[in-house]
A and B are shown apart, each in its own frame.
Chain A
């Protein structure tokens, strides 16, 4: 059963202190070792991503058969996934700021999605990564759309949250782009639409550019074949959306990923912050390409401990992190991709129903 826990209660002060110290050491070890291979890695991924994008767009434009068109869609989807997840998301976290390369600078990078870079940096880097899984503070927890824990009171509308989940996944880039609007707060009267005007201006500008690029400019370039290009680009964006949302949902909404209360954040030490990140995140295992295509969010635990360490390093530090967890009796939530995702689906389904139906945790598989 998923429960809201207080981190400080379950580990002693000494344990938290040692947890913080050991994890800080892991961090320092990687930072001290950053160098040419990390620079080569990210530039290599960028080159591959650009090749995939060019090839994909060319194939979509000039293909004469549905097969080559589909390959083009596949390549463009791959390029967009790589750009959003392994390149954009990670660069904007400051993972490559140490290179002093203005093109890889966290604060000015702009990515190929609806969400404006500044808006993402605020809602994701700051709010989500600072207040991870604190209900009422981390708006990524259910995105104001989904009920994922029994601390959110059940309403009849939650019966249909699976439909919400489907559409959120399909239109994920628009959902993420509008995240800062805080629709749920506007609806409940906590904020006013007019206060969101500066955000909306930025949103409209970015969204306009994206729509013009994928749905006007490139189709028009294809002349009479415009529809084929428009459809190809639409498909690529939708595939990217489904993929990104699935990966991201596996990061915090799996069975066993815990939530927290606002008071847990007060006077939180570094050790306690690490502890909350550990309890609130979950990994999944897989091949090297799965890690890269997930932007290494398959190592969500390591990512939440060290959001600004180059993500391709998470794989090598994961065993150390797990060892530290074991030594401190902290659960390390991991499993195969399908298993982790199935617990997400089960969770969304479980909490769409009133809690009275589940007096005991019988509706869910137990965590391993």
Chain B
């Protein structure tokens, strides 16, 4: 047979999970009930999994929070992910339009530190979510509710309007079952954005509570600002950020020699700041690394490295390389913003 040895460094575990059901949550949100293979190692509520799909020949990976509990996984062997159809989102679009019951999703092991901290003072747990940021939080609350139905919890949940509420039935069921769970639903289209008065009204003790915060970056920044301004003691906040605009949509590209970046080299554990439009290869070399290289002009691919996060500009064309492109030629790739290289 063909000798197709793959360096374990680059091989990502490819675990096929069967799609058991696809449920509509709102017009733009679907929940996928999937059965991970037996070698999948399990998860803790609040963690996320990578999901890999192939769109137009390109393998793309996104992380989605698990929106179900360990208890359900142990009982039925299934987990769920809940996905919002992002505008122009190729992976979420693919999941919404192409994935059906009986299909296959490729997943990876769960990871993430947005989990319940057991040293939290019991009884003072506040969850704040916006939009699809509810997904990791619902699994934490459901799990807690099943184990300790009497636990005092507060959920403050922001959505644009009532049509956007995800998990409405599960939330209603929870509030019936857990008598000390307070759910405060806010429609930002009517009430405006989160404010400190509102947060304090929903949870008077919030500054002394353990706070779990999940939503878009700007939403979380605002909530943290409001919380810090409202109390003398800084609250204990755990956060998970969701989504994020693509670079290309956010701002016009700066001139190539004005580009700045922060490059994280995962294998050597380095964090390198760069400016002046240096290529990945130049950046690594100027910090004492000696990656393999050849032509230094974009021909031979000897310096090709594995980019697992962030974006780069192709020096030859001056154009942004598609974000999902993982294998990039280091000699002609200028990193923009935060970039992670896995194998350096």
List residues of A whose CB falls within 8 A of some B CB.
24, 28, 34-40, 49-50, 53-54, 83, 87, 93-94, 97-103, 105-112, 121-122, 125-127, 129-130, 209, 213, 270, 273, 307-308
Bound complex: CA of A291 vs CA of B297, how far in Å?
28
* A50, B57: Cβ atoms closer than 8 Å: no
Pick the residue among A98, A106, A129 that contacts B58 (CB under 8 A).
A98
| B288-320 residues at the A interface, CB under 8 angstroms | 294-295, 297, 299-302, 304, 316-317
Residues of B within 8 A of A99 (CB): 57-59
* A105, B327: Cβ atoms closer than 8 Å: yes
Decide: A50 near B10, CB < 8 A? Known: A94-B304, A126-B295: no
* CB closest residue in chain B, given A38: B57
Residues of B within 8 A of A28 (CB): 317
1/0 per residue, CB under 8 A from A, across B1-31: the answer is 1111111001110000000000000000000
Decide: A110 near B325, CB < 8 A? Known: A102-B11, A130-B295, A307-B299: no
Q: Does B104 contact A (CB under 8 A)?
A: no
- Give, as a whole number of angstroms, the nearest-CB distance from B5 to chain A: 5
Decide: A110 near B295, CB < 8 A? Known: A100-B325, A105-B10: no
Residues of A within 8 A of B317 (CB): 24, 28
Q: Does B109 contact A (CB under 8 A)?
A: no
Counting contact residues on chain B (CB < 8 A from A), the size range is 20 to 34
* A34, B2: Cβ atoms closer than 8 Å: no
* B7, A108: Cβ atoms closer than 8 Å: yes
* A129, B300: Cβ atoms closer than 8 Å: yes
Pick the residue among B54, B325, B327 that contacts A106 (CB under 8 A).
B327
Bound complex: CA of A39 vs CA of B297, how far in Å?
26
Residues of A within 8 A of B59 (CB): 99-101
Residues of B within 8 A of A98 (CB): 57-58, 325, 327
- Starting from the known contacts A36-B57, A94-B304, A125-B299, 10 additional A-B residue pairs (CB-CB under 8 Å) come to A24-B317, A39-B56, A50-B2, A94-B301, A98-B325, A102-B11, A107-B301, A108-B6, A122-B294, A125-B300
Bound complex: CA of A111 vs CA of B58, how far in Å?
23
Bound complex: CA of A213 vs CA of B3, how far in Å?
10
* A112, B299: Cβ atoms closer than 8 Å: no
| B240-259 residues at the A interface, CB under 8 angstroms | none
Decide: A94 near B327, CB < 8 A? Known: A121-B301, A126-B295, A130-B299: yes
